[in-house]
């Protein structure tokens, strides 16, 4: 229907999460008709710059342009506490509450045997390494209350049993089957406050 170049652009946007064919078309035509060449170049440049400079924090595995990341290297954070989450979006949802002052550990996924995702495919070993040689007193398992997130929390709690740390699970203020990322601030704060020993 369109020229091959336009089709290719639409196809690229269609690969993004939450973007269907119609939205992809709308974005492509917005760029072609409404954006100046300079604006479009800036946008493409931002993607390239972010892809080149963003990597994983050597400590918490969150996305960062400096490693250790600002949270891990901040003297103001409570290093006795590690909150384990599935994704960088979860970190930002919890940070937005301004109520949690510990460190994080980003797994980059959850165990999912159906999709072939096992312990070595997410950042579990990196978490164990962090516990080996420091002052951590409590690990809060804040994976999503989905089937996979819960299975991941149970799996990790078993691995942590030999360590001298308290292992807690966030309370079910977060609706079952949902994503922490989309929970409101009060729900996140309550879920963290009423965490329970695993
Ligand atoms: Zn970090």
Query: Which domains occur in the chain, in start order?
Result: 4-53 (1.10.8.420), 76-197 (3.40.1360.10)
* Dist. CA 128 → ligand 1 center (Å): 15
DSSP 152-184: HHHHHHHHHTTSS-EEEE--TTSPTT--GGGS-
How confident is the model over 51-67, as a mean pLDDT? Answer: 96
Specify the higher pLDDT residue, 188 or 120: 120
- pLDDT, residue 187, reads 76
pLDDT of 9-44, one tens digit each?
999 999 999 999 999 999 999 999 999 999 999 999
* Dist. CA 73 → ligand 1 center (Å): 7
DSSP state of 138: E
pLDDT band at 184 (very low <50, low <70, confident <90, very high): confident
* Dist. CA 172 → ligand 1 center (Å): 26
Integer angstrom CA distances of residue 155 from 22, 28, 79, 81, 183: 41, 44, 23, 19, 24
* Dist. CA 75 → ligand 1 center (Å): 13
* Dist. CA 156 → ligand 1 center (Å): 19
Average pLDDT along the chain: 92
* Dist. CA 88 → ligand 1 center (Å): 11
* Dist. CA 72 → ligand 1 center (Å): 4
Residue 176 has pLDDT above 80, yes or no: no
């Amino acid at each position: 229907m369109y020229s091959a170049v336009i089709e290719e652009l639409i196809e690229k946007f269609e690969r993004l999460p939450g973007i269907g064919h119609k939205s992809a078309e709308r974005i492509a035509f917005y760029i072609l008709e409404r954006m100046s060449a300079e604006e479009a170049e800036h946008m493409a440049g931002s993607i390239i710059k972010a892809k080149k400079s963003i990597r994983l924090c050597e400590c918490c595995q969150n996305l960062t342009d400096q490693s250790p990341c600002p949270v891990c290297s901040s003297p103001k954070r409570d290093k006795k506490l590690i909150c384990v989450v599935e994704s960088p979006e979860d970190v930002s949802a919890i940070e937005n509450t301004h109520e949690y002052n510990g460190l994080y550990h980003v797994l980059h996924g959850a165990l999912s045997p159906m999709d072939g995702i096992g312990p070595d495919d997410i950042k579990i070993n990196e978490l164990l390494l962090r516990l080996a040689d420091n002052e951590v007193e409590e690990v809060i398992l804040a994976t999503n209350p989905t089937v996979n997130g819960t299975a991941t929390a149970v799996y990790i709690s078993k691995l942590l049993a030999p360590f001298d740390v308290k292992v807690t699970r966030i309370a079910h203020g977060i609706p079952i089957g949902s994503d922490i990322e989309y929970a409101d601030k009060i729900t996140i704060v309550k879920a963290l406050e009423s965490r329970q020993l695993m």
